[in-house]
Every structure is written in C-alpha cells, then in structure tokens.
Chains A and B, each alone.
Chain A
Amino acid sequence: MSRRKAISNRTRVRERAAQAALPVLATSDPLYTSVATLVEQSKEPLRRAILARFLRAAGTAVGRATPATLTQAASADSDVSAVLTTLEALMPEEGKASDDDVITQAQLRGLEARQRMLDAEGGTLSVEQMARRLHLTRQAVDLRRRNRRLIGLPVGRHGYRYPAWQLGPTGIWSWVPAVVEALSPHDPWQQVFFLLSPHPDLGGETPLNALRSGRTEQTLGLARTYARYGLG
C-alpha cells in the first residue's frame, strides 16, 4: 500500500471513530481533529488509561480556570505551554496548598521555564546542527560536551540541546570551557541558569553579557564563588 493511501485510510478511520464518539462535533470544529486523534490513541489499554486521567484533569482545569488564565493560555506560543498554564488552575489556592501541591506547582512552572531557557538568547542547536557549525563530527561535539568544553543541556530521550550563544564568530567562545569548569559541581541546566540570570555584583547584568563584553576574569570569579558558596 502506498504511503499516501495509508495516510488516507488512517484519516478515514479516525474520522469514523470521532463521528461515532462525538457525533455532535462538526468536522470544521477545532476539537474534531483532536478528538479523532484521542479516539484512535485510546485503542491501546495503557494509552487509554492515561488519556482518561489526562482528560479528566484537563476538563477540571478548564472548568476552574479564571478568564485571565484562559486568555493567557490561549495566547501561549505552544500547545504545551497552554496546557501547563491551564493546569495551574487545578492547584489549590496559596495558603491551602499542601507541601506536595506546592512542589507539583513548582514542577509545572519548571516545564515552562525549561522551554524558555531553550529559547533564550538565540535558542539551542541539535548535535547535528552544532557539528555542522563547528565543522566537526557528531562524536567530536559529544566528546567536547563530555570533556566540559561545551554546554549540552540534557532533554530526556531527545538527547542534548546546545545553546547557540556558545558560538562566536570563529567557533566556540574561548571563555566557554573556563566557565563550565568554574561552575562545577553544578549540572548543565544550573550552569545555564547562572549565566542567564541577573547578577547583583554585575549591577543586574547577566554573566553571559559580561562575558560577551570582555569582562572574563571578573565573571569567572563570580562563577567560581557561586559554585563553591552561592550568591549571598
């Protein structure tokens, strides 16, 4: 069977399933495609169980969300961000939340924060993209990351993403290996948070900007102090 025919068959199956499940939905409704996908996914027991919980939470969150939260969610850049913003509505009000609720909220915020960090300062590159930019093999890029000459952010099963701001006009900025070393024993994510956060001893400027503007020694000193002591 050709690929086009297979896709066409799958689409027809999805449409029939969605129509059977929710005949009230018009095919032009934005919910229609989503429901069709859900119905198809729900044939597998494990996926069905997770989807049921997922939808129950989503339904409750949308019901509880304030108009302001819904407006914010609707204008989010991505579906994931919209979901995370809405899910916060499931959390109890401040003062009523248990320790576990508070930690869950912080983890939800963390998912959104992670995306922001990946998008910051020119975004990130895959290992292939980084290899092309540096005229190296994938393996050589990976080796530089493992040897702490380059920051690679672990992103679960997707491997690593490499912040693009590590690249200067002639390759990796010379200060990158030094700052990675200075920020040991922190993990790559915490190293990036340090570099992109305003620093009180830099008049609120970020260490990354200070490094770019040539204040290498001062910034490396601050990085070492943060790594061994903290910011206080």
Chain B
Amino acid sequence: MVSASAPTDATPPGDLAARTLPLTRMEGPAWRVYPGAYEAEHFNKQDGRFNDPEQQYGVLNASGSDVGAFAERLLLAPGVLGGGGRAAGPSVPISATALQTFSLAEITFGQSITCVDLRTPDGLARIGAGPWLLTAPHAVSKQWSRPIFLHPSAPDGIVWNSRAGNGVVSMGLHERAKPKIATVGRGPLVGHRRLLADAIRLFHVAIVPA
C-alpha cells in the first residue's frame, strides 16, 4: 500500500464547481467482487473512498480489471506474515473460505460513461488535490465526493489509482450511471483460476485453508 500525507487543509476548493473537471470516457467492462449471497449490482451509500458522507446517493465501487477488484475488495496490507525468508517478499493471507463466499461480477457499459479522471497528477491538480487524496483516510477523501457529484458537468463517476498499487484502477460509479450499465454475476472467485493466479503473482497471496 502506498501512502502520502494529506495537507493541513484537505478540503475541496470553494471554486470546484467553476473548474473544468478532468473528464474521460470509459468503455468498460468494469469488475466487482462482492459477497455472493448479495446482489451483484450494489450502489453503496456508506463505505468507499469517494462515497457521499451524507449518504444521499449511492456509489457502485468497481475496478478496471478483475484482479483489481479482487485486490480492492479483499486484500490486506502485507506484513502480518513477515518476510518468511522468501525472495518474493511477505505474503498476504486470504482465507480459502473467502474465495468461495465472494463472487465476481462483470459490469458492461451500454454506452460510454463519463468519469472524473484522477489517475494523473495533472488530473488531481485540476480539482485542487494531490496524490495524497488517493491514500488519505476515507474521512478525508469522502469530502470530495459531493462537490464532484454536484458539478455542472454531472459526471457518471470517478476513476483513480488504487492504493493497493500494482496498477490497480478503481472506479466509483454514481447512481446516475445506473441506466447505462448492466451487471452480471460470474460466480464464486474459486472458479476463476486465471484471476486467482494473476492476483497471486502480483500480490504474493497465500491461500489459507480452514
């Protein structure tokens, strides 16, 4: 996990509504990992980096890749298992049960959606932020959700580089994007061998049996 310190005043600038947002068009698909007992499509009103602190609109949190969705939803920071003397570095544990109870969902876009692109320093600077916004505690980053959501350009969501690292791209789709997307459950993670192998290679995962 990457980290950067937030400035003393980490609130959005007062003139954000008048600024031109760094918009990009996304074609999809996006991916989501979710508890299999629940709906594949869920606009969460509570938790997420750019969710509304007032919980008035929901955000569907997803990733640009299936491996990214896995890392964002389940992986923890390395360190609990130490280095273990392995050349590949410390492992990140995941329970074998989680691979059965959590499922993968594919989100396709019927038409391209418009997102605020915070994947570059330039994009972050244009809204008056810096890389710290993507690693700060959620209490800090959530303050930016509402001004972006209420911007006159009415973006469908926000896209940014996850603090999980390894090129993982995160997306928070606002509820207004709902008519443009279709979400299909693809079954428990344990059945997605390629996804699991790629995640293991990238994050040095250890699968812990019950």
CB of A231 closer than 8 Å to a CB of B: yes
Closest to A203 in B: B3
Q: Are A189 and B208 in contact (CB under 8 A)?
A: yes
| Whole-angstrom distance between the Cβ of B42 and the nearest chain A Cβ | 10
Chain B residues with CB below 8 A from A200, complex form? 1, 3, 77, 135, 163
Interface size, A (range): 35 or more
Segment touching A, from B16-24, B88-96, B105-113, B122-130: B88-96
Chain A residues with CB below 8 A from B94, complex form? 190, 193
Q: Are B201 and A110 in contact (CB under 8 A)?
A: no
CA distance A117 to B96 in the complex (A): 14
Chain A residues with CB below 8 A from B72, complex form? 230-232
CB of A177 closer than 8 Å to a CB of B: no
CA distance A194 to B205 in the complex (A): 14
Chain A residues with CB below 8 A from B79, complex form? 197-198, 204
CB of B47 closer than 8 Å to a CB of A: yes
Q: Are B209 and A114 in contact (CB under 8 A)?
A: yes
**Per-residue B-contact encoding for A188-212, CB less than 8 Å = 1, 0 else:** 0110011011111100101000000
CA distance A20 to B170 in the complex (A): 65
Segment touching B, from A6-14, A56-64, A96-104, A127-135: A96-104
CA distance A198 to B84 in the complex (A): 16
CB of A147 closer than 8 Å to a CB of B: no
Segment touching A, from B148-156, B176-184, B191-199: B191-199
Closest to B36 in A: A185
Cβ 8 A contact of A189, one of B78, B95, B205: B95
CB of A174 closer than 8 Å to a CB of B: no
Q: Are A185 and B37 in contact (CB under 8 A)?
A: yes
Q: Are B210 and A154 in contact (CB under 8 A)?
A: yes
Chain A interface residues toward B at CB < 8 A: 72, 94, 98-100, 102-103, 105-107, 109-114, 116-117, 120, 153-156, 185-187, 189-190, 193-194, 196-201, 204, 206, 224-226, 228-232
Chain B interface residues toward A at CB < 8 A: 1, 3, 35, 37, 44, 46-49, 61, 71-82, 84-85, 88, 91-98, 101, 135, 137-138, 162-164, 168, 170, 193-194, 196-197, 200-201, 205-210
26 contacts between A and B (CB under 8 A): A99-B196, A100-B197, A103-B193, A103-B207, A105-B200, A106-B205, A106-B206, A109-B91, A109-B207, A111-B209, A113-B91, A116-B82, A117-B93, A117-B208, A153-B210, A185-B37, A187-B95, A189-B210, A190-B95, A198-B77, A198-B79, A200-B3, A225-B47, A226-B76, A231-B1, A232-B163
